[in-house]
Amino acid sequence: MRRGCLTAMTGWGDEVLMSNPLWCWQADGMCGRYAATKNSAALAVEFDAVEGEPDDLTADYNVAPTKRVHVVLDRELEGSLTRTIEVARWGLIPSWAKDASIGSRMINARAETVAEKPAFRRAFAKRRCLVPADGYYEWYRPTVDGAPSGRTGKPLKQPFYIHRVDGGSLAMAGLYEWWREPVAAVAEESDAASDVWRLTCTVITTNANDDLGRIHDRMPVILDRDRWSAWLDPTLAADEAQGLLTSAGDVRLEAYPVSTRVNNVRNNGPELIAPVEAALDGHS
């Protein structure tokens, strides 16, 4: 397969390298899927953190809502703030929630309203985190004539994988929350704290305007290294934290089409992020 690249300067300041040729796409918004393959030890080195409790997370090329994921946060250990790598469930459960089902609807928080929404404002004030990702997926519906269509007659969506050109992790701005399992739902014989409390998280998104074609409507807020400490600092005022919610201007991203196998959350493996020809004319 022949691949070329061109650079697009997007409205959110990042450079995007897109596979040639450049097609026109209609975006469906930020999707809830990403890839995360680095273990806690590798993340601890990359994010200047220490590992938290031992975990069994393995490389995941198809992270979906409600899965367990790594997060980076500052927590008080032995009287001082320490940056640690923890495991949270993706889908924030507010502390006031009566049951956990709300979490599946809280995978993203909009940067424009995160400080005001009841589900997020407490976490935004003091419990901010980073959610590391190798890259994330977006699904696009082609608008060109001749694109393959489904049973409804609408053009089929094409998944794209978006990642850093230099191979570094995307430090997605996020929030975390501790939620206590209702006493009635906890088995009487279980008194372990890990069985009672759940650590959950959400990813903050922002507008994404593209100069060359319409690639996507929303994207995760990606913070550069210079803003990590301020974002994670629980003492930083909410209005100052709000000012950090602009994506890093010096991050170069590559976006290319990948197999529709990623559509099924049961599929996993490095083949999901391998580039393919986008099937716009019925051929791949």
The catalytic residues are 31, 138
CA–CA separation, 141 and 154 (whole Å): 8
Residues 6+ apart with CB under 8 A from 86: 52, 53, 70, 71, 72, 73, 75, 176, 199
Residues 6+ apart with CB under 8 A from 127: 73, 175, 176, 177, 234
C-beta of residue 36 within 8 angstroms of C-beta of residue 63: yes
15-19 and 5-9 strand pairing? antiparallel
C-beta of residue 119 within 8 angstroms of C-beta of residue 106: yes
